[in-house]
A and B are shown apart, each in its own frame.
Chain A
Amino acid sequence: MTATTTTTALLVLRRLGTALLTVLLASFFVFFAVQLLPGDVAQQLLGQDATPEALATVRASLGLDENVWVRYGSWLLGAATGDFGTSLVSGEPVGPDLLVAFRNSMLIAVPAMVVGVVVSLTLGVVAGVRRGRPADHAISLVSLVVMSVPEFMVATILVLLFAVAIPIFPAVVLRGDSATVAELLPAVWLPVIVLTLAMAAYIVRTARSSTIDVMAGEFVTTAELKGLTTRQVVWRHAVPSALLPTLTVVALNVAWLLGGVVVVENVFNYPGLGKLMLESVFNRDLPTIQAIAVVSALVYVVCNLAADLVALALDPRLRTRRKARS
Chain B
Amino acid sequence: MTRSTTGAIRVAEARGAGGAGDPGTGGPSGLPGRVRGVASSITRCLGGSTALAIGLGPIALHVVLAVLAPWIAGHDPVATDSTAALTGSTWSHWFGTDQYGRDILSRTLNGGRYALLVTFLATTTAVAIGTILGCVTAYADNWFDEVVMRVVDALLAVPTILALLVVVTVFDSGLWVIVLAVTVVYAPAVTRVVRGAARTVITQDYVTAARARGEKPLSVVFREILPNVTDVVLVEYAMRASWIVLLISTLSFLGFGANPPTPDWGLMVQENRTALTVVPTGTLAPVVALATLVVGLNLAADGLSKSLGIDRAQKGAVS
Residues of A within 8 A of B (CB): 18, 21-26, 28-30, 33-34, 36-38, 144-145, 147-153, 156, 160, 164, 202, 205-206, 208-210, 213, 244-246, 248-249, 252-253, 256, 258-259, 262-263, 266, 274, 277-278, 281, 284, 289, 292-293, 296-297, 300-301, 311, 315, 317-318, 321, 325
Residues of chain B within 8 A (CB-CB) of A245 are: 2-3, 313-314, 316
The answer to whether A259 and B161 touch across the interface, beta carbons within 8 angstroms, is yes
A321 CA / B6 CA spacing, docked (Å): 13
Q: How far is the CB of B269 from chain A (nearest CB, A)?
A: 6
Residues of chain B within 8 A (CB-CB) of A256 are: 160, 318
Residues of chain B within 8 A (CB-CB) of A149 are: 287, 290-291, 294
The answer to whether B317 and A266 touch across the interface, beta carbons within 8 angstroms, is no
The answer to whether the Cβ of B166 comes within 8 Å of any Cβ in the partner chain is yes
Number of A-B residue pairs having CB atoms within 8 Å of each other in the complex: 169
- Mostly, the B contact residues are helix
The answer to whether the Cβ of B44 comes within 8 Å of any Cβ in the partner chain is no
Q: Which residue of A lies closest to B280 (CB)?
A: A160
Q: How far is the CB of B105 from chain A (nearest CB, A)?
A: 19
A278 CA / B6 CA spacing, docked (Å): 40
26 A-B residue contacts at CB 8 Å?
Answer: A23-B154, A23-B157, A26-B154, A26-B155, A147-B294, A148-B242, A148-B290, A149-B290, A156-B269, A205-B317, A206-B317, A210-B314, A213-B6, A245-B3, A245-B314, A248-B316, A252-B319, A256-B318, A262-B159, A262-B161, A262-B254, A293-B159, A297-B158, A300-B156, A317-B2, A321-B5
The answer to whether B298 and A297 touch across the interface, beta carbons within 8 angstroms, is no
A30 CA / B256 CA spacing, docked (Å): 19
The answer to whether A263 and B253 touch across the interface, beta carbons within 8 angstroms, is yes
A262 CA / B313 CA spacing, docked (Å): 26
Q: Which residue of A lies closest to B200 (CB)?
A: A325
The CB with the most chain A CB atoms within 10 A, among B169, B203, B277, B292, is that of: B169
The answer to whether B2 and A318 touch across the interface, beta carbons within 8 angstroms, is yes
The answer to whether A301 and B253 touch across the interface, beta carbons within 8 angstroms, is no
Within 8 A of A (CB), among B127-165: 150-151, 153-163, 165
The answer to whether B298 and A293 touch across the interface, beta carbons within 8 angstroms, is no
The answer to whether the Cβ of B212 comes within 8 Å of any Cβ in the partner chain is no
The answer to whether A278 and B254 touch across the interface, beta carbons within 8 angstroms, is yes
- Mostly, the A contact residues are helix
The answer to whether A292 and B287 touch across the interface, beta carbons within 8 angstroms, is no
The answer to whether B6 and A281 touch across the interface, beta carbons within 8 angstroms, is no
A26 CA / B170 CA spacing, docked (Å): 18
The CB with the most chain B CB atoms within 10 A, among A23, A210, A245, is that of: A245
Residues of chain B within 8 A (CB-CB) of A147 are: 294, 298
Q: How far is the CB of B295 from chain A (nearest CB, A)?
A: 4
